[in-house]
């Protein structure tokens, strides 16, 4: 075989290896080969020693883009080996292309589906072997063949030359008159590479540009040189109220104009752009409903072939939308953080470390550790007055007559369902990190305004049209993304790998998989396509510009929520509707977060703070907006097919969980959970659990306690960063710190009260802030949650991470990591 030494045959597909050992030819073979090469033809039946394979990347300039072209892949489809196939085979070697050879249409299609070649050369000379045009049509039917160059090898005409239209109709780009000369084949490949293949390569890059246009938050319109509308992006559709199909193909003059513009403004604009100059200014556009919207407009002429203007690109930004890109983050890093608190509590924290370090991890380790956690719960250092009252009443009940004991039971029931759980926090002047965290996360801000109130403009919500390209189902998730999510049921799952694999869109992909695993679509009676659209809309309304409160944080909280829902005691407590509510609440809990805390918004007099009376501002906004986005369009309304009463129950559960992430009631939620669930369950265990399975079940499944479990679950998921593996914990700490630094910068710029002065990017000690946050907010809460749900791996990570931050602090380092050795 003419290419035997450089080709491997497998299942009728022949692959070039691109490598060969030095001693693979006999001297006789080599001499024959050299003679054949000098004649310009490959020696039939004898191998030509290929050049060693080198991976090459060619740089291609495409406007302002710099592209890198990988080594070209060529597929040769020849039923039998002959001098023509050998000519192309060795031309590929000389050009350093990867080459495959297929003998049948079936193997050719299979090979293309695997490798997606840049060039396919099909033998069109012998119809008795296979129908070349039918094969070309089959390959063209595959979406990924759009940018593939197809070449038909045809016989030289004996008489009059025929039409190429049948080849073009079949999908061929080019024909090649048979010529087995190796240099002729080589030149043909070079012409293809630098001509049609290079053009197709640039066209592929256009997909990235259009993706950027589709995702842009600015309204973009592209017209032809004659000002016929050729493209508008989703932001334009949403801003102007038109659907794309209503505009494309129309001339600009056919679209209604606002009467609020000066009479000569359009003439001024046209005069400017027709000269090839960019125009920028204020322009009133008329929406489909007749309203006028004032926009900052930039129109740029695009010069094309012949130096003529071929397109006009118009970028429009509503003037009331200027603050959109500046919004950043809310909840208190607490709900989403992993950051803070200092050495005042180090003795208490050290004690907790000692307790767990002596706990066995053997077969009885879980039980022993849970009892040690319960011991800490009984001696919590942050104890609200109501907790002390309940303890006194419990003690009094033990020696009281039955009527008194029953009366005290009623007292306890009242106390556990009213707002009496806020702890008494002493002054912490010796610990400014804790002081600032409590002030920044657990108050509604100083009521002193600077006179230059911080006003958030009305939020322009992101509308994602139904045609936006995304996975249709779990089966369509890209392999790289699917591989990244293989261990998503593990606590050590790396959300940042998924963030990178999905180009900062992890929520849609993780949501599809998690919701599928829990059967959410089946529970809601909702098609998977609607769920996909809903996830897209929700993710689009997270601010990618936020360093912390973005869709990656939402995906992280969703992951933690799903992990907790799989814990045995959580499953015993919650019903399916509770699980669905928890997953939805985790997904939406920070939607449209501006990257600032509630205290900041209240001090700045923002529209949201005014709307919600300075009370749970962001959490109320997240919950309200989530339902607005969901119910405004049937294409993304996951609740559409629910029965009314079930929907009301689910809606209330989602709202309650989102509001529970607000930090002003942090200690109330934790204390209620401890007193209503942890302590009663511990009392049953201490009594030996004699026939008390029903009592335990009643504690776990009572409606009031199910609410407490759900609140505790989402709170722990929201601020679980300190319990993640160290590298994830460090990354989250850096991100939340950057948001707080940005808030402090803006407070100083705006002349607002600085809510958390220690978060000054020039002086802040990140390790101290993490220590304070762990000591003040995390330790007691996760001790309680661990005692309930049994989470030894989380508690070990928490111990390790605390020691890491303490180590940095003891070295007086302020950074996320120690300096390199």
Question: Which are the catalytic amino acids?
Answer: 549
DSSP 3-state assignment of 765? Answer: coil
By CB atoms closer than 10 A (0-12, 13-18, 19+), residue 192 is: buried
The contacts of residue 538 (CB under 8 Å, 6+ apart) are: 507, 554, 587, 588, 591, 626, 629
**What tokens were used for 724?**
């993640």
Name residue, tokens 């540009």: 209
Assess contact for 339 and 766: CB atoms under 8 A. Answer: yes
Best CA proximity match to 539, nearest among 520, 498, 514, 511 = 511
Best CA proximity match to 780, nearest among 382, 442, 435 = 382
* Consecutive H or E run containing 302: strand 292-303
Report d(CA 121, CA 702) in Å as an integer. 71
Report d(CA 531, CA 456) in Å as an integer. 30
How large is the C-alpha radius of gyration of the chain? 34
Report d(CA 336, CA 551) in Å as an integer. 12
The contacts of residue 649 (CB under 8 Å, 6+ apart) are: 577
Give the chain's count of helices (H) and strands (E): 36, 14
Assess contact for 217 and 462: CB atoms under 8 A. Answer: yes
HEC readout, 634-648: HHHCCCCCCCHHHHH
SS3 content of the chain, % helix, strand, coil (to 5): 55, 10, 35
Assess contact for 19 and 52: CB atoms under 8 A. Answer: yes
Phi, psi of 257, deg, nearest 5: -110, 150
Report d(CA 332, CA 440) in Å as an integer. 7
* Consecutive H or E run containing 375: helix 365-378
Assess contact for 806 and 771: CB atoms under 8 A. Answer: yes
* DSSP structure class, residue 485: T
Report d(CA 116, CA 110) in Å as an integer. 10
Best CA proximity match to 751, nearest among 432, 449, 401, 358 = 449
Question: What are the start-end ranges of the E strands in 3-145?
Answer: 7-10, 13-16, 58-62, 65-69, 73-77, 98-102, 119-123
* Consecutive H or E run containing 749: helix 726-750
Question: What are the start-end ranges of the E strands in 590-637?
Answer: none
Residue 280 φ/ψ region, left for φ over 0, alpha for ψ in the -120 to 50 degree band, beta for the rest: beta
């Amino acid at each position: 075989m003419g290419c035997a030494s450089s080709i491997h045959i497998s299942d009728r597909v022949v692959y070039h290896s691109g490598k060969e050992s030095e001693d693979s030819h006999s001297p006789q073979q080599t001499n024959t080969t050299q003679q054949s090469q000098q004649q310009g033809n490959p020696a039939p039946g004898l191998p030509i020693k290929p050049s060693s394979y080198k991976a090459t990347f060619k740089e291609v300039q495409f406007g302002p883009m710099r592209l890198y072209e990988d080594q070209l892949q060529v597929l040769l489809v020849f039923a039998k080996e002959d001098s023509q196939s050998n000519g192309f085979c060795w031309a590929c070697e000389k050009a350093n292309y990867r080459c495959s050879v297929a003998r049948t249409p079936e193997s050719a299609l299979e090979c293309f589906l695997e490798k997606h070649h840049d060039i396919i050369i099909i033998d069109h000379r012998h119809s008795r072997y296979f129908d070349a045009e039918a094969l070309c049509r089959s390959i063209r039917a595959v979406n990924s063949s759009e940018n593939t160059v197809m070449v038909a090898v045809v016989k030289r005409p004996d008489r009059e030359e025929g039409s190429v239209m049948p080849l073009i109709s079949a999908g061929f780009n080019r024909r090649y008159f048979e010529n087995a000369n190796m240099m002729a084949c080589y030149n043909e490949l070079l012409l293809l590479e630098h001509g049609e293949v290079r053009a197709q390569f640039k066209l592929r890059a256009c997909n990235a540009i259009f993706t950027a246009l589709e995702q842009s938050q600015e309204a973009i319109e592209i017209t032809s040189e004659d000002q016929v509308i050729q493209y508008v992006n989703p932001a334009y559709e949403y801003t102007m109220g038109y659907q794309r199909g209503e505009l494309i193909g129309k001339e600009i003059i056919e679209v209604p104009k606002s009467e609020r513009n000066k009479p000569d403004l359009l003439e001024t604009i046209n005069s400017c752009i027709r000269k090839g100059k960019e125009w920028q200014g204020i322009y009133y556009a008329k929406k489909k409903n007749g309203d006028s919207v004032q926009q900052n407009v930039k129109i740029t002429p695009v010069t094309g072939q012949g130096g003529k203007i071929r397109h006009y690109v118009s970028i429009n930004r509503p003037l009331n939308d200027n603050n959109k890109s500046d919004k950043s983050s809310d909840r208190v890093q607490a709900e989403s953080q992993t950051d803070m608190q200092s050495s005042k509590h180090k003795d208490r924290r050290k004690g907790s470390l000692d307790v767990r370090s002596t706990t066995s991890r053997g077969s009885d380790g879980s039980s022993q550790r849970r009892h040690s956690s319960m011991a800490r719960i009984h001696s919590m250092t942050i104890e609200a007055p109501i907790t002390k009252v309940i303890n006194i009443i419990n003690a009094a009940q033990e020696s009281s007559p039955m009527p008194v004991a029953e009366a005290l039971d009623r007292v306890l029931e009242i106390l556990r369902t009213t707002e009496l759980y806020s702890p008494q926090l002493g002054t912490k002047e010796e610990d400014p990190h804790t002081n600032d965290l409590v002030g920044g996360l657990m108050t509604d801000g100083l009521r002193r305004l600077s006179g230059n109130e911080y006003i958030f403009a009305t939020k322009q919500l992101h509308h994602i049209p139904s045609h936006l390209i995304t996975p249709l189902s779990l089966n369509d998730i890209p392999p790289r993304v699917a591989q990244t999510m293989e261990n998503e049921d593990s606590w050590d799952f790396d959300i940042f790998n998924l963030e990178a694999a999905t180009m900062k869109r992890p929520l849609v992909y993780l949501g599809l998989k998690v919701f599928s695993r829990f059967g959410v679509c089946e529970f809601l009676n909702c098609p998977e396509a609607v769920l996909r659209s809903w996830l897209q809309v929700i993710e689009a309304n997270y601010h990618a510009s936020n360093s912390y409160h973005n869709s990656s944080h939402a995906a992280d909280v969703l992951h933690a929520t799903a992990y907790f829902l799989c814990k045995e005691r959580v499953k015993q407590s919650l019903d399916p509707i509770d699980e669905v509510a928890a997953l939805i609440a985790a997904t939406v809990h920070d939607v449209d977060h501006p990257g600032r805390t509630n205290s900041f918004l209240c001090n700045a007099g923002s529209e949201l703070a005014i709307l919600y009376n300075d009370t749970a501002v962001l959490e109320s906004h997240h919950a309200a907006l989530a339902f607005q986005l969901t119910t405004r369009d049937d294409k993304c309304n996951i609740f559409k097919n629910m029965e009314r009463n079930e929907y009301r129950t689910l809606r209330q559960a989602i709202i309650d969980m989102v509001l529970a992430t607000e930090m002003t009631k942090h200690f109330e939620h934790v204390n209620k959970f401890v007193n209503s669930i942890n302590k009663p369950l511990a009392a049953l265990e201490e009594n030996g659990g004699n026939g008390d399975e029903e009592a335990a079940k009643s504690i776990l499944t009572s409606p009031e306690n199910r609410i407490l479990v759900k609140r505790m679950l989402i709170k722990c998921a929201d601020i679980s960063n300190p319990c993640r593996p160290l590298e994830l914990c460090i990354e989250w700490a850096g991100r939340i710190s950057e948001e707080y630094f940005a808030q402090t910068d803006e407070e100083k710029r705006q002349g607002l009260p600085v809510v958390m002065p220690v978060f000054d990017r020039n002086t802040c000690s990140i390790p101290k802030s993490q220590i304070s946050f762990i000591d003040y907010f995390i330790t007691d809460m996760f001790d309680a949650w661990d005692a309930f749900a049994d989470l030894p791996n989380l508690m070990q990570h928490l111990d390790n991470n605390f020691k890491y931050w303490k180590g940095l602090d003891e070295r007086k380092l302020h950074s996320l990591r120690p300096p390199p050795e």
